[in-house]
């Protein structure tokens, strides 16, 4: 009887340990699967947005060049002209101008210039 109880105790311990390790493997698998899914989604997002970011950089460079052109001593340029040059609508051009650190004229003439060339009046 003593040997039977001992064998039963060992069997219960083995089953308990086996259940624990099965649970641990399942938990580790879930964590690894989640991390791989997250990493894959981040990579996919980066690959999808990279071409647009490159295009935006090129357009911003063109806008900065237009706004720093010495042939225009006042260094204000018309929004519709810049939109036509970079091939976007006016809303997209405004978004890119803001990224280029430009601002609109205080008049309602639709002209834009770089903030470094046209700083805001100080409030003194």
Domain regions of the chain by residue span: 2-114
What's the pLDDT tens digit per position in 18-45? Answer: 888 888 899 999 999 999 999 999 999 9
Q: What number does CATH give the domain 2-114?
A: 1.10.10.10
Look-up: residue for tokens 């650190």? 101
What's the pLDDT tens digit per position in 73-106? Answer: 888 999 999 999 999 999 999 999 999 999 998 8
- The helix-helix angle for 79-86 and 2-67 (nearest 10°) equals 120
pTM for the whole thing? 0.69
């Amino acid at each position: 009887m003593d040997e039977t109880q001992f064998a039963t105790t060992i069997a219960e311990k083995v089953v308990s340990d086996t259940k624990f390790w099965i649970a641990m493997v399942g938990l580790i698998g879930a964590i690894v699967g989640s991390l791989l899914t997250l990493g894959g989604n981040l990579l996919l997002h980066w690959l999808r947005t990279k071409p647009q970011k490159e295009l935006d950089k090129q357009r911003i460079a063109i806008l900065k060049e237009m706004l720093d052109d010495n042939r225009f001593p006042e260094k204000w340029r018309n929004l519709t002209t810049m939109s036509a040059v970079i091939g976007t609508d006016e809303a997209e051009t405004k978004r890119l101008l803001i990224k280029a650190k430009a601002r609109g004229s205080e008049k309602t003439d639709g002209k834009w210039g770089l903030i470094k060339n046209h700083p805001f009046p100080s409030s003194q």
